[in-house]
Each structure stands twice: as structure tokens, then as C-alpha cells.
Amino acid sequence: MQIFPESRFDVIVVGGGHAGCEAALAAAKMGASTLMIVQDVDCVAHMPCNPSIGGPAKGHLVREISALGGVQARAADASAMMMRWLNTSKGPAVRALRAQCDWHDYHNYYLRELTHCPNLRVFQDQAESLWFENGRLKGVKTRFQLAFEAKKVILTTGTHLNGRVHVGLVNFLSGPMGQQAAVGLSQSMKDLGIVMQRLKTGTTPRLYRDSIDWEGIERQEGEKNPVCFDFWGQKKVFREVWCGMIRTNAETHRIIRENLDRSPIVHGEITGVGPRYCPSIESKVMAFPEKDSHPIFLEPTARGSVEIYVQNFSTSLPYDVQIAMTHTLPGCAHAVILKPGYAIEYDAIDPQQLSLSLEMKDYPGLYCAGQINGTSGYEEAACQGLLAGINAVLSLRGEEPLVLGRHQAYMGVLVDDLVTKGTHEPYRMLTSRCEHRLLMRHDNADRRLAPIGHRLGLLSEDQWRSLNERWEREDREIDSLDHTRISPEKANAELAAEGLQPIDRGMTAADLLRHPEVSYETLRRIIPDGRLDGEEESNVETAVKYRGYIDRQQRAADRMLRLEAMKIPADFDYGELSGMLAESREKLSKIRPATLGQAGRISGVTPTDLQHLALYLSERARRTEKQ
């Protein structure tokens, strides 16, 4: 094993997917000398599944990454071929952008960021094992028989750990899309005693564009108004491509049912647990026999590419069955498959072994982020990588880790769910997982998280100044609406012209805007002196219209924060609590919650035991104060 003088770093990141890219860039930008070890430089930030970014909850994560100073939002904007708002008919808490991206451009954007970032070196090799000496983490050893030293190591291995691809009853060791599996590293982790689990995900057949009959296929097109993900990006109209909307049918389902005996899932070849919220088409047909069709989307993957991704059609059935069921889809009677769909099994850790900083509790200095933690999705991976990179550097500095609360960010909910509750299936971020989602909207991620990004040095002074100027404009406008009086004589002509109910008394502009049918655009025709752009107007409208609901949810969050404020020492001995149920004591000892609030979210810990713990901690704190 060879060690070179240039082989010593502050941080090593293993893996070059979305988590690895964000982790390496964050660590390097915060001043740490960083090494990123990737199997193939030409596959960094690869999109082995659908080349899209965003959507409900996922789009929220992308905005939070942008606000903290991460890169994914910029990469999505730079590669977007189509963007559209989702959930526009619902409230502001669940609205989000989704981009159909050119996966080549997305990869190239990240690659440029990585290779031009000071303090960051990208090296093509494969990490074979974790390097420990005298029980302490020292670095990693590689396939090239090299040893790299670092004080902190971040594992972002995606679906490569002991990966196995399945197409029908054929299976073989592989990472995603023909890349290499990482067998040695997985075994190294098991040898250390790290608890692993087996998970599964999959992808769909890719079709030749010209083999599809697009006549009569319903179009889904991008927004007509300028949009973008990044808070400092240039808003544009993204309508270069459109997606086709079709549905499966009875014949599709008949072919699937008749070939289930050739499915590796039914046959027992696949033992890993698949994603609940993105199941294979055969899993849908089995789970919902009463349904006669399921929606399918035909999505372009890159500018000028012949490849079409068949969204919602993930499968691990044999190739001949994939051909037959594809030919039953509208417009696809003569479709030709470019790449077969497949399932991939891989090793992941039990995330309850992590602290809220994403550091392994029993192996200080070792962090994990992304699908290795049991999550699915590019966005979920990227946000974990960003947090792991930040926390690795904060630990190097001897500073407290960045732990975001459930009231602060979707990132906080995701990490808390993983560490506190664990997961035995690929975890996907959903708006329904967030009890305070009206406080954590797509539009206000900057207000929530940009001050943290600026403090960490991940946002430039120009970016910070730009945000503050925009916040000041919005706050002035809200204050103006609160103090501007509108009479019926001034408002009713415009309201009548739009077919809206007249008002019978004077009120503030804010009160009028709170009427469900009155938009900011309508209000500005009544008092035409606003000076905001489209996004700022939308932010003001949301803040005013939903003020009562937002205030109510903030009060609920404040009550929760009182529990979060009661800290539990990391070395707390739960054996001291003799009156606690054995199950509660066992789970608390395993997870080691950082706060009373986190303890209360552990399944199996009863309210009585939580109260017992709270009383004990309060008494202990009083005794400490008297000493």
C-alpha cells in the first residue's frame, strides 16, 4: 500500500453522485483540503434514472440547497429543457417547480464546478476499504493499492455497494447503468460491524424517439412565464421540449400478469425492499388489481438525443416481456428499446447508526450521505451531501454541527426521520412528512436558510446583499399594504370588471388581498404603484393571504421547540431510569436522541416514559446548577 506526500487531506469524499458532488464542493468551499474519489470521472452527477429535478418536496429541497449555497439548483437551471409548476391548484405549501433536464449538461455543469474548485482534487479510483488504526479512522485504501489519509471521510456510494442488476431471472454484479459495483468497501463496512440492509430500486426501458408515433399523444409543456430554481439565477422560459402523457391499458396488464412467474421479485431472486412511492409497473399491477390503467410519461433525456425515458414504467421483467408490454402503450406499437429497464439491489446502512450531523455514532469522523443512508432520489442525496460536507468541516474546526429543525427545513425533516425512525425501504421526501410545511414553502427557503449559508461562507457577499435588498422591497410592500386604506368607491369598479364581489366598507389593501378571489394583480390595478417583480409579488401575496395560518403554525412550531431545547447528553445512561419500559430504554440507548423532542419521535417510546425522562433531565439540570 503506497502513501504519497500529496495523499493527506482534511476530508475525503467517496463517490461522485449528487451527494458526493455537494459534499466535496461544500467542504472545499469552506476551506478544507478535499479529495473526491470517483469510479469514473465521466459519470459524476450521473442521472441513471429519470433526468428530472424537483417536484413537490423534492423541489423544496432543491431551493433549500440553493439557499445554503449548494450547487444543484444551478445545475438544474443550466441543463433544464422544460420547467413547470406542480400543484398549482393547491396551497402555497405544496407548490414546487420541476425541471426536465439534459443529463449531459447537468453532469457537465457539476464536472466544471468540481474541477475548477479551489481546495478540491478529483481522483478516479475505487475505495476498497476504510482505513482504521488503533480503532481510529485514518482514511481509505483503494483498488490501485493507494492509501489516502484524512481526518474526515464521507461515504456517498449511491447504489454501488455490492450492487446487483436484475433483468428477468438474469442478474449480475453491477452499479447503475453498467457502472462497477463496489464489493470491497461494502465488505469492509460489514467487517467493522456496521449494520447493513438490502434495498432495491429500478429504472424503465428507454425508447428510440423516432420509433414512437407521436400523433395523438397528449402534450405536457413548460411554463410560459420565466422561472428558475436558483435564487440568484436568471429566470427564463424553458419550453424546448415537451413530454407525452399516455396510460397503460388492460392488454399491458394482461402481459405483465401472465409473466409474473418470470419476475425476479416474484421468483425470490430479489431480496431487497423496493421504494413504496416509486414502485415497478409489475408491483403496481399486483398491488392494485382493480385498476385498469396507470399514467405514463414519455420524457426526453437530452438535447438532440434519440432517447425517451418512460416515466412510471420501471420494470425488472425479462427483455422480451418489456418489448411486448411496451408495444401495448399508445403510440408505441412499433417502439424500439434502446436500453432495457432493470432493478438494482444494493447495500445501505441502517441510518439509526448516524447522529443528526450524519456522522456515525460509533465511528467518529465517518459520515454517510445519500442512498447509502436508505434514501431515494437525486434531491434527497444532494441535500444530505451538502449537510455532511458542512458538518465534516465544522467538526474539523471544533464547532457545533449544523442540525436543522423540523420547523426549519425539509432537510431537517429528512435527516430527523432517518436518524430517529430509521427506514427499511428507500425513503422519499414527501410534503406530507412535514408537520410545519406552511412555514417551509418553496418561496421562502432563502429567508429560512440563507443566513446560515452566509455565515458558513457558502454564499458570497454579492449574493447576500442581493437577497437583503429583495427582502427589504418585499417587507416594505407588506407594510404598505397593511397601512393603505381602500374605499368601496376606489375598489368596486375594478372588482366588478373582473366579476368579483364588491366591498361594502373601507379596508386596508392587505385585508382586501386576503379575500380568496382577489389576487395581487387585481389589487395593483386598484392601487397601481407597486415596484416588485413577479416572484416578489407572489411572495408578498402568499405572506399576506396566509398570514393567519402561518402565525398559527409558527405557534405550534414554537411549542415543539420547547421540547427540542431540552438537550440530552450524548453519553446519557438510560439504565438510570429504572421506571422506564424496557423497549423504551432499549430504543433510546440505540438511537441516543439529542433532544427530548427527538426522543418523543422514536417509535415505541411511550408518552409516560417521555414524561419520566423529562422530569429526570429537569431534576438533573437543577442539581447541576446548584453545584
Residue 100: pLDDT over 90: yes
Tens of pLDDT along 27-65? 999 999 999 999 999 999 999 999 999 999 999 999 999
Please report, for residues 183, 348, 374, 620, the alpha-carbon distance to residue 197 in angstroms, rounded to integers and kept in the order given.
14, 5, 9, 38
The average confidence (pLDDT) of the chain is 93
| 80-96 pLDDT, tens digit each | 999 999 998 888 999 99
pLDDT band at 552 (very low <50, low <70, confident <90, very high): very high
pLDDT in tens, 296-345: 999 999 999 999 999 999 999 999 999 999 999 999 999 999 999 999 99
Identify the pLDDT of residue 389. 98
Q: For residue 161, what pLDDT band results from cuts at 50, 70 and 90?
A: very high
Q: Which has the closest alpha carbon to 350: 277, 424, 420?
A: 424
C-alpha cell at 465: 446583499
Q: What gap in Å lies between CA 140 and CA 393, rounded to an integer?
A: 18
Percentage of the chain beyond pLDDT 90 is 80
Q: Of 273 and 427, which is predicted with more confidence?
A: 427
pLDDT at site 538 = 92
CB 147 within 8 A of CB 139: yes
Amino acid 428 reads R
* Structure confidence at residue 614 (pLDDT): 83
> 546, 92 in Cβ contact below 8 A?
yes
Provide the grid cell at 24. Answer: 466535496
Residue 132, burial from CB neighbour count under 10 angstroms (0-12, 13-18, 19+):
middle
Q: What's the confidence (pLDDT) of residue 5?
A: 60
Q: Which helix (H) or strand (E) holds 253?
A: helix 250-258
pLDDT at 52: 97
- The whole-angstrom separation of Cα 187 and Cα 399 is 33
pLDDT per residue over 333-391, tens digit each? 999 999 999 999 999 999 999 999 999 999 999 999 999 999 999 999 999 999 999 99
C-alpha grid cell for residue 74?
A: 444551478
Nearest Cα neighbor of 63 from 448, 557, 395, 501 is 448
Supply 122's cell numbers: 478529483
| Each residue's pLDDT tens digit, 485-531 | 999 999 898 999 999 999 999 999 999 999 989 999 999 899 887 77
Q: Write down the pLDDT at residue 627.
A: 62
pLDDT at 70: 98
Distance CA 606, CA 585 (A): 10
pLDDT band at 209 (very low <50, low <70, confident <90, very high): very high
The string of pLDDT tens digits covering residues 448-494 is 999 999 999 999 999 999 999 999 999 999 999 999 999 999 989 89
The whole-model pTM stands at 0.94
Higher pLDDT, 418 or 562: 418
Query: Which pLDDT score, from 0 to 100, does residue 621 have?
Result: 75
Amino acid identity at 487: S
pLDDT tens sequence across 565-610: 888 888 888 887 777 888 888 888 888 998 888 988 988 888 888 8
Q: Report residue 273's pLDDT band, with 50, 70 and 90 as the boundaries.
A: confident
Report pLDDT for 603: 84
Question: Which strand (E) or helix (H) includes residue 188?
Answer: helix 183-191
Which domains occur in the chain, in start order?
Answer: 1-459 (3.50.50.60), 461-555 (1.10.10.1800), 565-626 (1.10.150.570)
